[in-house]
Amino acid sequence: MRKLILNLAITLDGFIEGPNGEIDWLVRDPEMDFGDILNEILSDKDAIFYGRVSYDKWGNFQPDKEASSKIKVAYERMHSKQKYVFSRTKTGDDTDAIFINSDIEERVLGIKQQPGKNIWLYGGAEITTTLLNLDLIDEFRLAVHPVIIGSGKPLFQNIRDRHKLKLTDVEGYKSGVILVKYQSETLAT
Amino acid sequence: MRKLILNLAITLDGFIEGPNGEIDWLVRDPEMDFGDILNEILSDKDAIFYGRVSYDKWGNFQPDKEASSKIKVAYERMHSKQKYVFSRTKTGDDTDAIFINSDIEERVLGIKQQPGKNIWLYGGAEITTTLLNLDLIDEFRLAVHPVIIGSGKPLFQNIRDRHKLKLTDVEGYKSGVILVKYQSETLAT
């Protein structure tokens, strides 16, 4: 079955954005070019899940003209994936993105059972919470950036149950970023 | 100068206790006996800072009679350290603990300038926030346990400024616990 994998950058204090949506706390690393990161994330995925807010902000993002060709190619690759957008009300736009308005558990299980590569759960926080509470996330691949920002949008909020995870990999980089991978175990009791 | 070092276990979602003070989410690991952990923490420390609530709960904790002799010895060693308790109102108890009620920045800088080993910032969250906001914490040594608990007492709350950290070490254990060490850099602007 395809796995649903949350790939996301967070601060040490667990935020995915500052209070005004800032991501200026992201640490740049010569070892980890953003195009490489994106390519690495996309390498085992052929679909992307977005919450509606994240989709509006990033779902059709185009890099600057000055961006490296590697980043441009990575975004092209990203935009060639099948996108799914979770929204209570919006039913579509002028792209091939599929909007999901209801029956989330059933729809997500259906998509996971389709043949294909894994699915990237892009975020944001609300759809992550919903899918985590439904125990539908199979893996967490977090890039923990070496900064405490104090306030903003937390990745984990309104989580109902305990979730035990299995650590499968952790690696620190010169930039101070830690890449950590967990598999979902069972709901802890 | 002596360093003030936060040594603490947290969940992946950043809590130091569950909503009712639970620490039953702490993962046990044959590689990391709790007596060994305590001894490792104490090895470079000769003083301990507690918030008043944490002190009342853990400051004079005695292990069970059935505990291993290693754990009993580690707690004896812990209780031989000079303790400082941060409280707005309480000025002392029947131990040698020194209670600090005011002038926190001045008092902490004074203690850090005294000769001696490093200082263990035991917690909890409120004194951690105060000392972090005063930029007085020199190192963070966090044991990140592989569990999401959803609610409880967060380690980082009411942090005023951004703090950039320097990753100095990270290691994953079979239990799924990650030990990660950061040095305080500067307040990020």
How many CB atoms are closer than 10 A to CB A122?
A: 24
Q: Choosing among B167, B182, B183, B189, which should be mutated to test the A contact, i.e. which has the most A CBs within 10 A? A: B167
Q: What's the confidence (pLDDT) of residue A32?
A: 72
Burial class (CB in 10 A: 0-12, 13-18, 19+), B70: middle
Q: What's the confidence (pLDDT) of residue A189?
A: 44
Indicate if the pLDDT at residue B96 is higher than 90.
yes
> A1-5, A183-187, B68-72, B118-122: which has the minimum mean pLDDT?
A183-187
Contacts of B146 (CB under 8 A, 6+ apart): A164, A165, A166, A167, A182, B12, B27, B175, B176, B177, B178
Q: Is A147 left (phi over 0), alpha (psi -120 to 50) or beta?
A: beta
Nearest CB to A165 within list B146, B159, B171: B146
Write out the H or E segment, with its range, that includes residue A171: strand A163-172
Q: What's the confidence (pLDDT) of residue B173?
A: 93
Using CA coordinates, name the residue in chain B closest to A26: B164
Judge contact between B50 and B90, C-beta under 8 A. no
- Strand A45-51 to A118-123 pairing: parallel
Low-confidence ranges of chain A (pLDDT < 70): 186-189
- pLDDT bin (cut points 50, 70, 90) of residue B41 is very high
B188: contact with A, CB 8 A cutoff: yes
Q: What's the confidence (pLDDT) of residue B168?
A: 97
Using CA coordinates, name the residue in chain A closest to B142: A12
- Looking at residue A156, its amino acid is F
Question: Tokens 């950036």 correspond to what residue?
Answer: A145
Count of CB pairs separated by less than 8 Å, A with B = 103
- pLDDT bin (cut points 50, 70, 90) of residue B189 is very low
All residues of chain B having their beta carbon less than 8 Å from the beta carbon of residue A182 are 12, 146, 176
CB contact under 8 A, B158 and A150: yes
Strand partners, B83: B48
Tokens for B21, please give them: 């003070």
Cis before B124 (ω within 30): yes
Tell me what ipTM this predicted complex has. 0.91
A19: contact with B, CB 8 A cutoff: no
Q: What's the confidence (pLDDT) of residue B187?
A: 53
A143: contact with B, CB 8 A cutoff: no
Q: Quote the CA–CA distance of B159 and A131 in Å, as a whole number.
A: 29
CB contact under 8 A, B162 and A147: yes
Q: Choosing among B28, B128, B140, B164, which should be mutated to test the A contact, i.e. which has the most A CBs within 10 A? A: B164
pLDDT (tens digit per residue) in B129-155: 999 999 999 999 999 999 999 999 999
- In SS3 terms, chain B reads as CCCEEEEEEEECCCEEECCCCCCCCCCCECCECHHHHHHHHHCCEEEEEEEHHHHHHHHCCCCCCCCCHHHHHHHHHHHCCEEEEECCCCCCCCCCCEEECCCHHHHHHHHHHCCCCEEEEEECHHHHHHHHHCCCCCEEEEEEECEECCCCEECCCCCCCCEEEEEEEEEECCCCCEEEEEEEEEECC
Judge contact between B133 and B56, C-beta under 8 A. no
Q: What's the confidence (pLDDT) of residue A28?
A: 85
CB contact under 8 A, B178 and A180: yes
3-state secondary structure of A165: strand
How many CB atoms are closer than 10 A to CB A123?
A: 24
Indicate if the pLDDT at residue B29 is higher than 90.
no
